Amino acid sequence: MTWEFTSPLTLLGEWRDRTDEAELHELLLLGFTVDLPFLEKTLIPTARALGARITVIGDAGQGLYDPVDVRMAGRSYFHGLAACRGSFHPKLALLIGAHEAVAAVGSGNPTMAGWGYNDELWTVLRGHETGAPEPFRELSRWLAALGGPVAVPHYATELLKEIATRLAEFPIASRPARVLHNLDTGLVDQLPAGPVEELHLYAPFIDQNGRALARIVERLAPSRVVLGVQERWSSYDGDAILEALAGSDAELRLLAEQRPRHGKLLEWRTGGRWTALTGSSNLTATALLDTVMNGGNCELGVLTEVPSPLLPEGTATSVTHLRGRRTVRPVEGRPGLLVLGALLTGAGLLQVTLAHPYDVDVAVEVSPDGSPGSWTRIGTVPAGRTAQEFAVPEFAGAVVRIVDPRAGGRTESPPVFVVHPARCARRQADENRPRLRHGYTEEEIFTDEELGRRFRYDLLRLSDLVAEHRTALPARSVAPSAQASAVHDRYAAYLDECERTIGRPLTLKLFGGAGAPDLALGPRWGLTADAAVDDDPDGPDGDAEDTGPGEIPPDRKREWRQWAIRAVDRTVPGGREPAPMMLRVLVARLFVQLLGHGVWELDDDTWRAPLARLAEGLAPRPEDDVPDEAVQHVTAVTAVCMGLLLGGASLTGGTLHDLLAARTWQAVKDRVSVAETDVVGDLLIPPRLAHANVLSRSGWERLLDLARSDDPVALITAELAADELILESDRGIYRVTGRFTNPVPVAARVATLLGRHLETVLVHAVTGDRWTLVAWRRPHLVVAGSRAMWPGWRVYRVPPSGTPESRLTGGEGPPRAGLVAGPVPLGRTPPPGALDVLELAGADPADLLRRLRDHGT
């Protein structure tokens, strides 16, 4: 201890004023009573500015604040409450950086009185990466074990364990002191046994039955006892003290009463050396004798040698001065209902933790700020349970309480604050990363001409800055506590990063937010969810007063088209590292919206190539580090892009659009197959505007069915169905029926399509009494037909660049190019080349011919 130290605020000030500007990684505060508004004025802003993750835990029944006065809990720091059978009473301030740590263990609660007005006692322990005192290891073990006998929220348990792990990493170089606690052993039983020469005692609260005093004297067997008391401000029963000290050489030291003396002290002298126990323990049985497991308080102290006595000077008198005096004040009972914490999970659920199970269902109420009349009931925690999750809209920092709904009066718990883990995480080294200059919404960037122009420029600027920033910072600097934290949900952290970069409104559009799918953000650009349900363009007209989006003017359409191409070039540049996933998926979403609102004319296909590039560029890479929940949304956008590319294109055709769609399909099919309808949201846009290019809900469902089919023929079947052709498999033969008159080109086309996936194919095209059989195994092509269609067997040899379709179509009658056998009448044995192909296809020629003639001769 040094005389300059007055409270943990001093330690924080020292860290702030360091010349090396070292970051603060962790700040942990434990106390009995906690004044959150006081901390938010004096400590939280400075600690956050230094980069710290802050955790504040107090006794569940002792909060000194009105929730309307608390602004940062859950938003800027972790807040939780603790409960045990006694009081949660330790006082600890722990600061951890990259290379050093400082711990203050003492008597002062994190309140204005405890850190400013009262006379407190603190012991400060300092450690460095080159060496730390043994109490660091003991403190680490206590923090790791605290969540067992003491009830705290699960997230608080994990935070304490992570902090304990970090503290244990400091190498131990000395043992100047010991950290004592009473989780499983009483504090007095851990003191060295007497006799001692002199014993000094002081605490603001002394057992009204004197049991703790008597046990201390018995343990240490002092020759002389000095008991310090503030005659008016200390809490004691004079007669009980006289009884406990009977038979001892005892002196009463009356201490000055200029201000309350709240320090706790038990010190003794042996062989001229003084040893002191300081910390949180009053001179009571629940603090010094009992364990937490057996119903005692939860206490923390430091046992160390001191150069001189810590008990202040005062007026010495006989302990008989206290005879008949009693200053014990009545203690208010603990609230009947206690809630320990509320956490917003990455899955969008509010996780509420109670101190212990109750024998009745307890109601859970939420308020945005704790003001009267603002509470809303969201559900109940069933009897016998200590935790429950609720699906509620997100508002980090909101207030939660539990209520006994039984008749006969209203009982409410002290409040807790909804914790958003990502917002409370320690500040990252790239906190000054590039970001959009404004929190744009989709509604305003498409309907406000000036904001739209500003956004287009801003996003291109951001893409350029991000590329430069990534070059300068190839890897994010992450504190050890943030790399593998069980508390910091990856999805919530990712959404927070997105919010800091592109703003909250656009983040919610992309990913829905953590627990806020229905959070209103003002006017909505696009169609309502109700309108999106019915996407039938031939359905009845909507309400004449429909307030849907208006068409974008032609000149702004041109600007958007030009910007979209540039945005794709910036976010998915060819041959260079792409932009972060949040920017790629944002550009893809906006691209889909622009198509849905007619920015491109129906005969303008210049959008296809950049959209295909975007779809392929949405594949998550390891460097993107995108959580699975976010990948679901990215996959849905990918599937919509693919669905739009399939509009007016064929996966089996030969046009440029067909080939582009087929190439993109091969790249994204596996991802499309796992897309989820629940997250596609408003990207299935009804075709309400002129020139709209959209993916309907039925088209979406067909797309997913196609992607999820393991049968390569399913794709061809779907393609043919669009041309009113029906493809069916019949014991090794693929039969095609439908509306056509000439079966030859149909059979040739289907054989070509199937031949891309199958080594040997038999295709039988039938219309009325006309039919054609095509057997294809490269390089041999076998053709057989009914009497009206190229009768007899023919065998062709097809060059590597050829296909059945290229060989059999485009001319009048059977081609002669490449003919190697035939024609041979159907009633005779097929040519040798035909027999070879049929054998490889597993078909018996005689049986095959009977089956063919069932459809005509």
Q: In 5-62, which ranges are continuous DSSP H helix?
A: 8-16, 36-42, 44-49
At residue 395, the pLDDT reads 62
Which residues, listed in sequence order, are joined to residue 773 by a DSSP beta bridge? 764, 784
More confident residue, 521 or 406: 406
CA 260/CA 120 separation, integer angstroms? 9
Q: How confident is the model at residue 846 (pLDDT cuts 50, 70, 90)?
A: confident
Mean pLDDT of 632-638: 95
Work out whether strand 24-30 and strand 53-59 pair parallel, antiparallel, or are unpaired.
parallel
Task: Please say whether the dihedral angle defined by the alpha carbons of residues 534, 538, 539 and 541, taken in this order, is positive or negative.
Answer: positive
Q: Phi, psi (5° rounding) for residue 677?
A: -65, -30
User: Which residue in 420, 338, 569, 324 sits closest to 73, CA to CA?
Assistant: 420
pLDDT digits (tens, 9 = 90+) for 386-429: 999 998 766 655 899 999 877 544 788 999 999 988 888 887 65
The token pair at 349 is 């659920």
Reported as type and span, the H/E element at residue 771 is strand 770-777
CA 422/CA 429 separation, integer angstroms? 15
More confident residue, 532 or 246: 246
At residue 856, the pLDDT reads 57
Mean pLDDT of 255-269: 92
188-322: CATH, from 3.30.870, 3.30.70, 2.170.220, 2.40.30:
3.30.870
CA distance to 152, 173, 298, 411, 474, per residue, from 84 (Å): 9, 34, 8, 20, 47
pLDDT digits (tens, 9 = 90+) for 769-780: 888 999 999 999
At residue 478, the pLDDT reads 39
User: Which residue in 91, 107, 29 sits closest to 283, CA to CA?
Assistant: 107
At residue 531, the pLDDT reads 38
Judge whether residue 68 has pLDDT over 60. Answer: yes
Q: In 223-275, which ranges are continuous DSSP H helix?
A: 238-244
Which residues, listed in sequence order, are joined to residue 54 by a DSSP beta bridge? 27
Q: How confident is the model at residue 206 (pLDDT cuts 50, 70, 90)?
A: very high
Which residues, listed in sequence order, are joined to residue 228 by a DSSP beta bridge? 253
190 secondary structure, DSSP code = G
CA 5/CA 122 separation, integer angstroms? 8
Task: Please say whether the dihedral angle defined by the alpha carbons of residues 416, 420, 425 and 431, taken in this order, is positive or negative.
Answer: negative
Ranking 188-197, 476-485, 736-745, 833-842 by mean pLDDT, the lowest is 476-485
CA 601/CA 649 separation, integer angstroms? 16
User: Which residue in 543, 642, 533 sits closest to 592, CA to CA?
Assistant: 642
The token pair at 130 is 């080159």
CA distance to 789, 808, 844, per residue, from 743 (Å): 8, 11, 23
pLDDT digits (tens, 9 = 90+) for 185-203: 999 999 999 899 999 999 9
Strand order of the β-sheet with 122-128 is 78-82, 53-59, 24-30, 92-97, 100-106, 122-128
The token pair at 359 is 């024998």
The identity of residue 109, as a single letter, is N
Judge whether residue 679 has pLDDT over 50. Answer: yes
Ranking 189-193, 240-244, 808-812 by mean pLDDT, the lowest is 808-812
Q: Phi, psi (5° rounding) for residue 813?
A: 80, 180
Q: What's CA 716's distance to the chain center, in Å?
A: 41
Which residues, listed in sequence order, are joined to residue 362 by a DSSP beta bridge? 381
CA 564/CA 695 separation, integer angstroms? 19
For residue 791, the tally of other CB atoms under 10 A from its CB is 15
At residue 468, the pLDDT reads 79
Judge whether residue 695 has pLDDT over 60. Answer: yes
User: Which residue in 629, 581, 588, 579 sits closest to 607, CA to CA?
Assistant: 588
Mean pLDDT of 681-695: 86
Reported as type and span, the H/E element at residue 253 is strand 250-254
At residue 532, the pLDDT reads 37
CA 92/CA 122 separation, integer angstroms? 9
Q: Where are any strands of DSSP class E within 15-52?
A: 24-30
Q: How confident is the model at residue 517 (pLDDT cuts 50, 70, 90)?
A: very low
* DSSP one-letter string for 53-102: EEEEEEETT-B-S-GGG--SBTTTBEEEEEB-SS-B---EEEEEESSEEE
Mean pLDDT of 248-275: 92
At residue 627, the pLDDT reads 87
CA 225/CA 244 separation, integer angstroms? 11
For residue 771, the tally of other CB atoms under 10 A from its CB is 26
User: Which residue in 340, 1, 25 sits closest to 155, CA to CA?
Assistant: 340
Judge whether residue 597 has pLDDT over 90. Answer: no
Mean pLDDT of 369-373: 88
Which residue is associated with the tokens 């960037």? 445
End-to-end CA distance of the chain: 109
Mean pLDDT of 810-834: 84
Ranking 114-118, 334-338, 800-804 by mean pLDDT, the lowest is 334-338
129 within 8 A of 337, measured Cβ to Cβ: no
At residue 513, the pLDDT reads 54
On average, the pLDDT of the chain sits at 86
User: Which residue in 96, 329, 100 sits closest to 208, CA to CA?
Assistant: 329
pLDDT digits (tens, 9 = 90+) for 106-118: 999 999 999 988 9
At residue 839, the pLDDT reads 86
Q: What share of the chain is helix, strand, coil (3-state, %, to 5)?
A: 35, 25, 45
CA 231/CA 202 separation, integer angstroms? 12
CA 357/CA 364 separation, integer angstroms? 14
pLDDT digits (tens, 9 = 90+) for 559-591: 999 999 999 999 999 878 899 999 999 999 999
Task: Please say whether the dihedral angle defined by the alpha carbons of residues 444, 447, 451 and 453, taken in this order, is positive or negative.
Answer: positive
Q: In 340-479, which ranges are continuous DSSP H helix?
A: 421-424, 442-447, 449-472
User: Which residue in 416, 418, 408, 414 sits closest to 360, CA to CA?
Assistant: 408
Task: Please say whether the dihedral angle defined by the alpha carbons of residues 473, 479, 484 and 489, taken in this order, is positive or negative.
Answer: negative
Residues in the chain: 857
Which residues, listed in sequence order, are joined to residue 775 by a DSSP beta bridge? 762, 782
pLDDT digits (tens, 9 = 90+) for 263-308: 999 999 999 899 999 999 999 999 999 999 999 999 999 999 999 9
CA angle, 724 then 728 then 729, to 5°: 160
Q: How confident is the model at residue 800 (pLDDT cuts 50, 70, 90)?
A: confident
Number of H-type helices and E-type strands within the chain: 27, 31
Mean pLDDT of 54-73: 90
At residue 540, the pLDDT reads 41
CA 528/CA 510 separation, integer angstroms? 17
CA 226/CA 219 separation, integer angstroms? 16
Judge whether residue 712 has pLDDT over 50. Answer: yes
* Helix (H), strand (E), coil (C) string for 805-833: HHHHCCCCCCCCCCEEEEEECCCCCCCHH
Structurally, at CATH architecture level, domain 8-178 sits in 2-Layer Sandwich (3.30)
Judge whether residue 522 has pLDDT over 50. Answer: no
At residue 615, the pLDDT reads 96
Domain(s) labelled CATH 3.30.870.10 in the chain stretch across 8-178
Mean pLDDT of 682-698: 87
509 within 8 A of 485, measured Cβ to Cβ: no
pTM over 0.75: no
User: Which residue in 390, 467, 396 sits closest to 434, CA to CA?
Assistant: 467
Q: What's CA 280's distance to the chain center, in Å?
A: 37
Judge whether residue 637 has pLDDT over 90. Answer: yes
CA angle, 850 then 852 then 855, to 5°: 110
Q: What's CA 672's distance to the chain center, in Å?
A: 24
731 secondary structure, DSSP code = T
773 within 8 A of 852, measured Cβ to Cβ: yes
Judge whether residue 330 has pLDDT over 50. Answer: yes
User: Which residue in 616, 443, 427, 640 sits closest to 526, CA to CA?
Assistant: 443
Judge whether residue 843 has pLDDT over 90. Answer: no
